[in-house]
Homo-oligomer: A and B are copies of this chain.
């Protein structure tokens, strides 16, 4: 059970190790949206994503015995790097199972923090089998990227900070993949800003959270979107929290996600990964419904490859 105190404690615990990220605003995006938007810039977080919060909280909560044996996870994305970073801060081992198909840049991110990478075949089954094997051999504690209350309590601190910086929000919007960030956002609203309506934002091609809320039980994700951080199926722990705390979920197309990334680029000059742009895309799609409101938006991350090369005479082309 994640209480108000759980989140307060998590926040105090992690603040020495993570950024209190800035809140960005843009008059021209407000004009386009027809509302007042406050962007919590977790793309400027340590490691380039909110994942630093949950991984840090879960790792700091390990006992001395657990710490000695280290942490483990399987991840192809930002959680892997965040967990390796948290472990390196505490000077304990991190064992990270990654599909062999993962981009080199993501492996390098984990290695930069001294994480041990175990390569496996792609696919959830192969990943879980390899992780079980690693845990059996090392005795490491598994830290799931989202189906873990300590992780969820850590992710909740992003919204908590946004409520502290902007107390009058009518609505807060967070993306949903496995559900850790949205569940944390829902709990933060419940405890720290109960008048704020919580909305989830999800790709149409991975709308399992949308369908799960409709049907009342977890539906598998189709995992078909450029928002590669949001392809996982909702975990059961986030699901039960989201059911209690989230008003509704808005689904958006990949085209709408790209349009939102472009706005971030052109108007805020800030680099946002596709998953990080989904919440703005959802707000733009809800333009009429949200008109005139004060809206918090969580930019979940900014880890995308730089598109610059010398092959084109102009440095970047649409």
Contact = CB atoms under 8 A, between A and B. Distances in A.
Given A48-B269, A255-B310, A270-B270, A261 B315 contact: yes
Contacts of A228: 314
Interface residues of A, number: 33
Contacts of A318: 305-309
Contacts of A305: 314, 316-318
A265 B306 contact: yes
Contact of A226 (B43, B261, B313): B313
Nearest to A302: B269
Interface string A290-318: 00000000000010111111100111111
* Secondary structure of the A contact surface, majority rule: loop
How often does this chain occur in the complex, in copies? 2
Contacts of A255: 310
Q: Looking at A268, A304, A305, A307, which has the most chain B CB atoms within 10 Å of its CB?
A: A307
A314 B227 CA distance: 9
Contact of A258 (B43, B48, B308): B308
A306 B266 contact: yes
A121 to B, nearest CB: 20
A258 B311 CA distance: 11
B310 A306 contact: no
Contacts of A281: none
A190 interface: no
A317 B313 contact: no
Interface of A: 43-44, 48, 226, 228, 254-255, 258, 261-262, 265-266, 268-274, 302, 304-310, 313-318
22 contacts: A43-B269, A44-B268, A226-B310, A226-B315, A254-B310, A258-B308, A258-B309, A258-B315, A261-B306, A262-B308, A265-B306, A269-B272, A270-B270, A270-B271, A273-B315, A304-B315, A305-B314, A305-B318, A306-B316, A307-B316, A307-B317, A308-B318
